[in-house]
Every structure is written in structure tokens, then in C-alpha cells.
Amino acid sequence: MLAVSTANMPKSENLIFSPRDSLAGPALSGYSGSMPSSRSPSSPPAAPKASAFVPTALYGIVGWPLERTLSPLLHNTGFQALGLPAVYLGWKIPPEQLTAFADSARLLDVQGLSVTMPHKTALMPLLDSVSEQARLTGAVNTVCRDGDRLRGENTDVTGFLCPLAEFDAENTDVLLLGAGGAARAAAAGLALRRFRRVFVATPSDRSHISLAGDFGCVPLAWKNRHDIRAGIVVNSTPLGMRGELADETPYDFEKAARPRDSRTPTAYDMVYDPHETRFLRDARLAGWNRVSGLSMFLAQGAAQFRLWTGRKLPPQAEGAVRVRLCAAGKIPEECPEKRIESAG
């Protein structure tokens, strides 16, 4: 077991380790602070030691890169709120080290993993089994341990659908932009809810064809995407993500055809950092309702937590994420709980 001083255990810090930190070395000693130095007999006595936090279960997130993930904050807050002796770390693992990482996770008895870009598909053949939902989406975002076996799951589908629970699916057309792992989770969820028609388009006019066939979507030429009278437009591309793509968007709302009915259409961005991407900002200015990727992130994380612990993610966990984002100025200070922000 890992003895960890609570004095050195930040409750709201992201604990991220790069490839140079071995799982058995610095990565697992990240909570414990620096090693104590030797003391001469004449030195004053050391202060009493803080009570030790002893995690007996190890969890974490694997991705590349991994600088801005909020997952450690979300899950560690949940563990602490419930008094669970568990810790959740972050591992920055490049694609060429993924196989070695999977072997290390087995060796160290890691109980659960969150999986993010670019490993959601590549990790699948390294696992002992995958759920039907993960197989259908062609991606895993969650790994659970069953004894000495690792099982892949996909909670992105659950997370994606959560903000859409009140929609009249049978009378709503959807336009899905993108064809990667996030798009497959969205397509699987839309098919599960039986939305009337789902159109899918990508800039390459090629990569979406197989996705359309797998999930019964209507393939669409990229140049025709604004002609669809969609009630929901979903951005599953990385356009708008913080960094080089922050000022990019896959959709021009000024060119968008209005839905067939009188309902205000909804723009759904699967990117959660920044909270308001250019896609969502343009949607707001055009009078659309908006769903940010933060809603999906919180819902898929709650589903992961339940898979690992059998417990509901406590509200303190979501609260900690919102406080962090508010403090950073990334979401409005009132931190609205509503998953769909209205045009008004």
C-alpha cells in the first residue's frame, strides 16, 4: 500500500505525470512530497507527523497530451467526500508507450482508468474484454478491473445523451459534424434514442462514410451541411479546443437553414475547454440554445465513478469542478446548473 501524508495532499490539484515518471516510481510517489532530509543530533525535534492517508485503490487517466484534464479533480473529490481510500492520478503516455503502460497498469493492480485522446481505440486490443457498447462505438473511455482481467467500457454515450433527455427525439433531425471517437459515441447515443434522422459530415468527405453505415446515419457532403434543417447540430471535431484550434469552428450559423418547426435549434459542442468555444459563441449570437461539453464531461465521469465504486458521484465533485472553472474565468461566476443554456 501507499502511505501518503495528508499534509501534502492537495484536494483540488491535477496530478499529472509524464512518461519519464515510471508508474512504480515518481508517478506513485507524487502525493508524498519530498523525501525527508537527515537531521543532526543537535537539530530541534521534527514536528509531529500528519495523519497518513493510505490509498488502497489506484485509478487514473491516460492520454497524450494531458495538461488540462479535470478528471483528477472530479474523481479525487468524489473519493474524499465518500471517505474512500482511493487515489486518481494522471499519466501522459505517448502512443508508442501505450502497450508498456497497459502492462504496468496490470502489474500495479490499477482498479480503473479513464481513457482519452488518442488512446480510445488503440487500447481496445490490449484489454481482456470490452462491453457491447464499447464494441459498437469502436472506442473505450473507461477501463474496469474484474479480478485479474481488464474490461473496456464506454460511458461517453451515457454522458452525451444526458443533456438531451428532454428532447422529442422522434421529431428531431440532428446534424453531426466529425467522425472520430467522440462522433462514434454521439452517433451510438443518437441511434439509441432513435432521433428521426442523423446526418453526418466531415471536411474530408470520406471519413464519415463508415460511421454512417455503422449507425444508420445519412452521409452528407461537407459543402451541404448548412442545408440541413436540423434541430440539433453537434460538433464532435476538435475545432474550438483550447490551443491552436481555439478560434476555429466547423459551422457558420448565419448560413444555417432553420428547423422545420418553430422550436429554437440547439448547438451541442463536445469540447469542454474552453467552456464557450467559438462554435457556441457564434450559436449564442445567432439566437440558438447551447449545450457545452462540460455537461457531457460531468455525466460520463459520474458514470465511470459508479462503474468503479458502485456509488453515486457526490455533488461535491461536480461542485469542485465548477468552482475551479469559475475561479479561472472559464464559466460564468454564477456557475449555472442548467445543462442547456437558452438563447434568451
DSSP string, 106-175: HHTT--EEEE-TT-TTTTGGGSSEE-HHHHHHT--SEEEEETTEEEEE--HHHHHHGGGTTS-GGG-EEE
Q: Is 120 annotated in the active site?
A: yes
- Dihedral sign of CA atoms 109, 113, 117, 118 in order: positive
Burial class of 97 by CB neighbour count within 10 A (0 to 12, 13 to 18, 19+): middle
pLDDT at 89: 97
Residue 186 near residue 163, CB atoms below 8 Å = no
Q: Which residues of the chain fall below pLDDT 50?
A: 1-14, 20-41, 48, 334-338
Sheet hosting strand 266-269, strand order edge to edge = 218-219, 197-201, 173-177, 232-235, 266-269, 289-291, 340-341
Q: Which of 278, 302, 266, 229 is nearest to 71 (CA)?
A: 302
pLDDT tens digits along 12-66 = 344 555 554 434 333 333 333 332 334 444 555 555 455 567 899 999 999 998 8
Distance CA 228, CA 153 (A): 33
Q: Which of 248, 253, 239, 179 is nearest to 211 (CA)?
A: 179
- How big, in percent rounded to 5, are the helix, strand and coil portions of the chain? 35, 20, 50
pLDDT at 65: 85
Burial class of 95 by CB neighbour count within 10 A (0 to 12, 13 to 18, 19+): exposed
β-pairing verdict for 218-219 and 197-201: parallel
Q: Count Cα neighbours of 105 within 13 Å in the Cβ-side half-sphere.
A: 30
| Spacing of C-alpha 49 from chain mean position | 37
Whole-number average pLDDT of the chain: 85
Claim: this prediction has a pTM higher than 0.75? yes
pLDDT at 45: 52
Query: Omega into 250 within 30° of 0, i.e. cis?
Result: no
pLDDT at 29: 33
The length of the chain, given as a count of residues:
344
Distance (Å) of CA 334 to CA 246, 260, 323, 326, 337: 24, 34, 10, 8, 9
pLDDT at 18: 53
pLDDT at 336: 41
Neighbours of 269 (CB within 10 A): 33
Q: Which domains does the chain have, with CATH numbers?
A: 4-30+49-154 (3.40.50.10860), 158-295 (3.40.50.720)
Which entry of 120, 223, 255, 312 is annotated as an active-site residue?
Answer: 120
pLDDT at 261: 81
pLDDT at 9: 39
β-pairing verdict for 218-219 and 232-235: unpaired
Distance CA 208, CA 201 (A): 6
